Structure 1
Amino acid sequence: MRLMLKKVLLALMVMVLATAAALAVILNSHPDMDAYQALNSPTAPPATPLKVRFLGVATVVLDDGETAIMTDGFFSRPGKLKSLAGRVGPDMDGITRGLARAGVTKLAAVIPVHSHYDHAMDSPEVAKRTGAMLVGSASTANIGRGWKLPESQIRIARLNEPMQFGRFTVTLLASRHSPTGFTGGTIDKPLVPPVRAFDYKEGQSFAVLVQHEGRSLLIYGSAGFEPGALAAVSADVVMLGVGGLGSRDAAFRDSYWREVVTAVKAKRVIPIHWDDFWVPSTGPMKPMPAPLDHFDVTMTFLRERGAKEGIDIRLPAQWDAMDPWQGLGAK
């Protein structure tokens, strides 16, 4: 009997180890991007007056040579095991490398699109280093307070209220996170890391409308939407968060496109938040692996809808400056 029990336990251990090994392989197998090279945005010429850099997830920098603003500012990218089973906090060296790689030394504002760790965790430290105002929800403000960011550098934004940073006009609009098990919740007191990744609750999600001397860009960091929230908004270009979109059904993808892209009359869509945020930011970005998302499904959907409605689809340049409005005609 004991021998039989030992054999059963050994068989179970082998099965568990085999399953874990197979899962590890799957979660480290990323979709190939070679098929989408024709969609890559070109690097902006040096004389481009307003440059935009995509730094991964929903971190975007806009710089007109006088003023620079950033969404999120996420550079730490803790690994899978730490994110899912351990505690996370800002990686000071990772932030140093990220800011240096992006050429960022001074910012007027850092604006997390919501308060999950892969958006807002590093934002207070980025604000400290660059002198920026941390702008966001009450939950984001509590992340800043937990990091001892001075109150003078924390601003709780109001929906639909334009804010001026140099020649940038920034308006935060109502949005929602993609419907997942992590959606919702608020951070109601200062959050002091290291904490569990799930302690970074969503708070208010924002769509970030940036206007600059006749140009308009909507940074939409999550693949969820607030019905009708963008009905009165116009934006030539949408940097569209597509994280998890490939795992949604066709009806959801259609609604998302209609409520965001069609609503603002966009001429170009640049997908963001498709990259695996457990991969260090020192190398090239890789799409999130299946079964966590389905990048090819997302790209097929975007290309088909873009072709049908005459909307240009481009992948963002990675870390390099680009001109999202290039080729769209006069301002």
Structure 2
Amino acid sequence: MARRIGRPALPGPTEIATTASASPRSPVTVSFLGVSTVLFDDGESAILTDGFFSRPSLPKTLALPLRSDIRRIDAALRRAGITTLDAVLCAHSHYDHALDSAAVALRTGAVLVGGSSTGFIGQGSDLPNDRIVVVENGGTTSHGSFAVTFVESVHSYPDRAHGTIDRPLTQPARVREYRCGEAWSMHVEHVPSGRTALVHSSAGFRSGMLDGRHAEVVYLSIGQLGRRPRAFVEQYWQETVAAVGARRVVLTHWDNFFRSLDEPLQALAYAFDNVSASIDVLDACARRDGIVLELPTLWRRADPWSDRGRV
């Protein structure tokens, strides 16, 4: 069969919902900042997953050693309204998650939190050792108003840079040097309000890994999911969304991350994924289970718990 060229169109507002904007009464807001970078902010405390803002072009990614683009990082932080962070939480150590994590932590006063591979990325940067936190499966860290529990998962298939980073990684570095390390599913609780979310940043799972955990909202990665069989996508839904009893799912890791954030978001090309195929299956799962499925709007301060108490 011939490989498709081009890229799928993203579903429009009549096909999929978008997350409601936060109101002045929202105790915590969530902003989608591309790929699986998600900001949680209550006005006093703020945490950020990944913090990938450099987004080098495909030719540069394939041909050259990479370093963080400080100009793009600063522009994204300004656009998102980020001045300080309590923590940068790294889902795993591939470059499209971890390339900028240490630089963002350094510029915002945050600690860098993740697995041992992420720790070595921090050690290879200018980040002081006392601002690098290495977690283990089931560990919980506290950052201002937020408590985050790290559950070890599995990276989506295929993992083209599998393995671990075993020594400090200094930029510039090749994409292949950003090895996955541990892949985390992160349970976030805003302690003062009791609001909960699961940030699941790679489309893989371990059966039963989330048993006994609850989250009202799931930020669900669909990267590479469109190339998996329907049965796998349905099982992925069961092991993540259904497992935690979520009422709302916000899709992440669907955008073309070889394109700068100052350009409109677009889906990844068919050469990498089929976003429309995965969304179709997940939409069917959501309709069957009575769950709201949403595509986030870049930069928007959203309140995914806006209907809390109305179930």
TM class, shorter-length: over 0.9
The answer for the alignment partner of 1:83 in structure 2 is 61
Of 175, 188, 201 in structure 1, the residue corresponding to residue 166 of structure 2 is 188
Matches of 2:281 and 2:5, distance apart in 1: 23
Q: Which one-letter code corresponds to 2:181 in the other structure?
A: G
Query: How do 1:108-127 and structure 2 match up within 5 A?
Result: 108-127=86-105
The answer for the alignment partner of 1:215 in structure 2 is 195
The answer for the alignment partner of 2:176 in structure 1 is 198
Deviation string for 1:151-181 (max 9, x for gaps)?
A: 0110101221222212211111111110114
The answer for the alignment partner of 1:147 in structure 2 is 125
Unaligned runs of 5+ in 1: 1-22
SS of residue in 1 equivalent to 2:263: coil
Matches of 1:32 and 1:233, distance apart in 2: 31
Matches of 2:223 and 2:157, distance apart in 1: 11
The answer for the alignment partner of 2:11 in structure 1 is 33
Kept after mapping to 1: 8 A contact 2:201/2:221? yes
Kept after mapping to 1: 8 A contact 2:30/2:304? yes
The answer for the alignment partner of 1:16 in structure 2 is none
Q: Which one-letter code corresponds to 2:176 in the other structure?
A: F
Larger radius of gyration: 1
The answer for the alignment partner of 1:179 in structure 2 is 157
Deviation string for 1:224-269 (max 9, x for gaps)?
A: 1122110111111100000011111112112211111111111111
The answer for the alignment partner of 2:78 in structure 1 is 100
TM-score (norm 2): 0.94
Task: Report the alpha carbon displacement of residue 183 of structure 1 after superposing the two structures with TM.
Answer: 5.0
Q: Which one-letter code corresponds to 2:236 in the other structure?
A: Y
Moved over 6 A (4+): none
The answer for the alignment partner of 1:7 in structure 2 is none
Task: Report the alpha carbon displacement of residue 321 of structure 1 after superposing the two structures with TM.
Answer: 0.2
Of 16, 31, 34 in structure 2, the residue corresponding to residue 53 of structure 1 is 31
Task: Report the alpha carbon displacement of residue 38 of structure 1 after superposing the two structures with TM.
Answer: 4.6
Matches of 1:328 and 1:296, distance apart in 2: 29
RMSD: 1.7
Task: Report the alpha carbon displacement of residue 32 of structure 1 after superposing the two structures with TM.
Answer: 3.9
The answer for the alignment partner of 1:73 in structure 2 is 51
Kept after mapping to 1: 8 A contact 2:66/2:173? yes
Identity of aligned residues (%): 41
Matches of 2:179 and 2:58, distance apart in 1: 18
Matches of 1:249 and 1:191, distance apart in 2: 36
TM-score (norm 1): 0.89
Which has the higher relative contact order, 1 or 2, with Cα contacts under 8 A spaced 6 or more apart? 2
Measured at CA, do residues 252 and 183 of structure 1 come closer, stay the same or move farther in structure 2, by a change above 3 Å? farther
Kept after mapping to 2: 8 A contact 1:267/1:328? no
The answer for the alignment partner of 1:238 in structure 2 is 218
Matches of 2:279 and 2:265, distance apart in 1: 16
Unaligned runs of 5+ in 2: none
Higher alpha-carbon deviation: 165-174 or 121-130: 165-174
Kept after mapping to 2: 8 A contact 1:86/1:196? yes
Query: How do 1:225-264 and structure 2 match up within 5 A?
Result: 225-264=205-244
Task: Report the alpha carbon displacement of residue 85 of structure 1 after superposing the two structures with TM.
Answer: 2.4
Higher alpha-carbon deviation: 90-99 or 280-289: 280-289
Matches of 2:305 and 2:230, distance apart in 1: 29
